[in-house]
Amino acid sequence: MSIESYPPVLRRHLGGRRRPEEEAEAMEEANPVPVIDLEVLGLKEEERKLEEACKEWGLFRLVNHGVPSTLLEELQGVAKELFALPFEAKEGACSGTVSYFWGTPALTPSGTTAITMNMNWLEGFDVPLSQLSHFNPHLPTLQSIRLLLIDYKTHLWRIATTLFEAMAKNLELDLKFSKPYLAENTGMVRVYRYPHYHDTNVGWGMESHTDSSVLSILNQDHEVSGLQVLKDDQWLTVKPISNTLIVNLGDMMQAMSDDRYKSVSHRVSINKQKERISICYFVFPGEDVVMESSKYKPFTYNDFRAQVQQDIKTLGYKVGLPRFHQNHDQST
């Protein structure tokens, strides 16, 4: 991969990299992540497994999800082609519909990320799926990924609604009332590239965080590991397995479940020898839908997002759900 394809802030580090050393032993060789079979989710035993995964992990591996393996592989392949383009081409090719970012997971505009030791080692594209029809890409590779995402988003929404309905049933939520908690027009995909680097102590591909979404669905590189999840105060590596998806719960699902379900903390490590591509789908409640919960003060996703952005600006990090807890003092 050409060094010219990386943003300048990463290029300066990567240009002086040494020959990769032998990769350190993985943090967790076993693969204990719960597995949910979407084909049999209507069965009581599978619903019980889903309930346990949501409570104990906040994350699970999805099999028999109905997304063609060829589509998953094509998305990964086109993403690699896209990231291989010169940095300047990627930066100049995006319109207001699709944004290109680096150094943070799209929390600050491109080019404004402070160059610090805490910088995330990543670059990516932010694609609102409801805007794909208005997306007029200036690069053939962007056009290729747009066409694939038009197909992919149909599968993503099917999976998200199927899982959400099963979770709502387990939580004994009124589905008619809670349905706006998952809004198709909020769906977005972020395509990430994490560079490899000889010294994994330089930082994280993405630092520890929880997602603000209801659900996040990840198509991760099936050859390169990196995703780690916090379980019982221990970080475990989520091994990549071909033709499976990783689903994790976000802050909105934890709130609507009255903390019965977990918004899982996760992070991404840097690989010493290979770069890593991941494609993640996020879906949220309607922006003005009021989240009602016995644990939290009523809030909309608009309120939540504004508070997260304010905290990042003033504190340098996301506080998230604790800001809206019934007992939280907003002055702190």
Structure tokens at 106: 């799209």
Catalytic residues: 276
Radius of gyration of the chain (CA): 19
- Say how far apart CA 98 and CA 137 lie, in whole Å: 9
Minimal CA–CA distance to 173: which of 250, 245, 252, 56?
Answer: 252
Structure tokens at 173: 């939520």
Burial class (CB in 10 A: 0-12, 13-18, 19+), 328: middle
- Say how far apart CA 211 and CA 58 lie, in whole Å: 11
Encode 254-283: b = buried (16+ Cβ within 10 Å), e = exposed.
bbbbebebbbbbbbbbbbbebbbbbbbbbb
Sequence-distant contacts of 304-307: CB under 8 A, at least 24 apart: 304/212, 304/251, 304/252, 305/212
- What does each C-alpha distance from 244 to 38, 64, 146 come to in angstroms? 11, 8, 22
